[in-house]
Structure 1
Amino acid sequence: MLKEMAEQLPPSERKIALYIIENPHEAIRCTANELGELSSTSASAVIRLCKSLGLGGLQELKLRVAGDMRKSNKEGFTDFQPNEPQPSIVQKVTANSIQALLETAEIMNYDSLSKAVEALIRAKSIHFYGVGASAVIAQDAQLKFVRINKCTTSSTDFHLSAMLVAQSSKDDVVVGISFSGETFEVAKILELAKEKDATTISLTSYGLSPLSEIADVNLYVSAKQEQVFRSAATSSRLAQLQFIDILFMCVLTSQYEASIQKLDEVRMGINFIKQN
């Protein structure tokens, strides 16, 4: 998180982030005051950094740094080479996918997750929107939530999505999906949703972005960037799908009996069509 966020942070917070990256063993032993002195900043800047990272405080930051230090033997993401052997491709795709899923779980902000789940439970209608590869994620989300009797939409058409969101209200939720967090159309849809007082949720890679600045609730997947052969694009798609599954199961289990009944009704409806 620190490496991905460093260049986006204000100067004082960036200095602290760089100090922690370069001196993790010392950083995890420091108080806020000590860390501020060592990085030539202040204790208040340390607290601001924790907030910028979406963490509960310095203790949580130190726990995450310590966790990463224990995992120093982990290979991380790898890209592909020209004429890569097929067994190597299988291994790399699998390893990258696992890495993306694990890192998404590791950076989970449970306060934001709870707010998103509560909003989805209360929602009169839910609009998922993404462009390109993220549109597939939006469609997958719609197919899941409609099974438990949620009025849910997703559209790859910008104008149609705008028309749907233009009719939303404070009782509705609009979820903007973009790995970069910079997709123009998704940002505009969230801006429109804000004008209509709908609850807005962003699902992006970790870090500050136009979407995270707009949304009421920010959800993040692993922030590893796409490389030459776009191996991380595949991994990021899986991480986004993972997060949709997490949201769906959180909503489903919070209304377990009613949700199971709806799933059974959907299953019987599909079987009826197949048999007739």
Structure 2
Amino acid sequence: MSYTSGGLAMLKSVENTLPTSEQKIAKYILSSPEPVITMTVKELAEQSETSSAAVIRLCKSLDLKGFQELKMRIAGDVQKPSSSEYRDIDKGESIHHIIEQMTHNGVQIIKETEEMLRREDVEQAVQDIHEANSIHLFGIGASGLVAADGQQKFLRAGRYAFYLQDPHMSYTTLSNARENDVAVVVSFSGETKEAVQFIRLAKKNGMKTISITKYGSTTISQLADIALYTSSTQEAMIRSAATSSRLAQLHVIDTLFMSYVSNHYDEVIQSLDRSRAAIDQHKN
């Protein structure tokens, strides 16, 4: 996309967790986004019956640089064609409709996750990974599958990467990590007890920390040195949430990995070739 967007998705993601005054502003913007594009802070405060200070606080709650960035993102949203909401699968659906709906949900969450990822944060994360002696990844449940995928990718790229399914073994391995190691914590909610313990232990050891969570202020994203966000998804949460959230998390891991490969192509491509040759030889 040639324009910055994602403002409306960000507001929807955190609307129900905001303080009352900020929530009033969010509701006003979501109901009438177009006029906001040309408003000043004072005008938005008057229209939403709040205060200029509340507008500024909302921008901080969204982890944006200021009101101007929020307006730019909303302007980008207004330019985009509208799309239907996420929808869960019901009993007796046709295979044709399931394929269509799951494809739509997948495309939607990846597009929204693209809007949540700050380019400078991805760049810094890639640099920290390159400078690290080893990479320690952690996740529970579906997030654990994403952490395992990250491990195998960076192992093939010639890096020391650790992911252990047992949290206690992960803590044990992390307790021997050093300051020049990096921890990558994957948790959709950003509040998973084991993941919070993992990132706190990593910080206690002086490690650089990277989180991959849904958009919004969570314990894990607040603790992380670099917080990478996925869309929080608007789909029904009863059955298929892990499907879309996992896809979004994998997209972030792929983005980190491909950015790492691109930035350090000459050294990484040799490791990838060696790992491929080792696998091919084993097949034979």
Shorter-chain TM-score category? over 0.9
Question: Of 84, 93, 106, which residue of structure 2 is paired with 1:84?
Answer: 93
Corresponding residue number in structure 1 for 2:221: 212
Q: CA deviation at 1:264?
A: 1.2
Give a deviation string over 1:60-80, Cα, whole Å, max 9, x none.
Answer: 211222232334631121122
- Structure 1 residues 41-60: Cα deviation after superposition (integer angstroms, max 9, x where no partner): 33343233223212232222
For 2:161, the equivalent position in structure 1 comes to 152
The residue number in structure 2 matching 1:110 is 119
Correspondence for 1:125: 134
Q: CA deviation at 1:267?
A: 1.6
Checking the alignment, whether the CA contact within 8 Å between 2:86 and 2:234 is kept in structure 1 is: no
The reply on whether 1:36 has 2:45 as its aligned counterpart is yes
- What's the counterpart of residue 233 of structure 2? 224
| Maintained 8 Å contact 2:85/2:235 | no
User: What secondary structure, in the 3-state scheme, does the structure 1 residue paired with 2:165 have?
Assistant: coil
1:74 to 66, 78, 83: 83
Secondary structure class of the residue paired with 2:35: helix
- The CA distance in 2 between the partners of 1:73 and 1:2, in whole Å, is 16
Other-structure match for 2:274: 265
1:181 aligns with 2:195: no
Match of 2:261 in 1: 252
Deviations 1:156-210 (A, max 9, x none): 1011100111112221111111111111101100011111111111111111112
The ranges of structure 1 where at least 4 consecutive aligned residues each deviate by more than 4 angstroms after the TM superposition are none
1:240 aligns with 2:249: yes
- For the 8 Å contact 2:190–2:219, the answer to whether it is kept is yes
Deviation at 1:229, TM superposition (A): 5.2
* Superposed CA RMSD: 1.7
What is the TM-score of this pair, normalised by structure 1? 0.93
Structure 2 counterpart of 1:57, which letter? Answer: G
Tell me how far 1:19 sits from its aligned partner. 2.0
1:112-156 CA-to-partner distances (Å, cap 9, x unmatched) read 222211211111111110001111001000000011111100011
Aligned to 2:7: none
Q: State the Cα deviation string for residues 12-58 of structure 1 (Å, max 9, x = none).
A: 33232222112212211112232233333333432332232122322
1:80/1:229 contact within 8 Å kept: no
Contact 2:88 / 2:235 at 8 angstroms: preserved in 1?
A: no
SS at match of 2:39: coil
- Asked if the contact 1:77/1:232 (under 8 Å) is kept, the reply is no
Residue 72 to residue 270, structure 1, CA distance change in 2 (3 Å): closer
Q: 1:253 is matched by which residue type in structure 2? A: S
Q: Which runs of 5+ in 1 are unaligned?
A: none
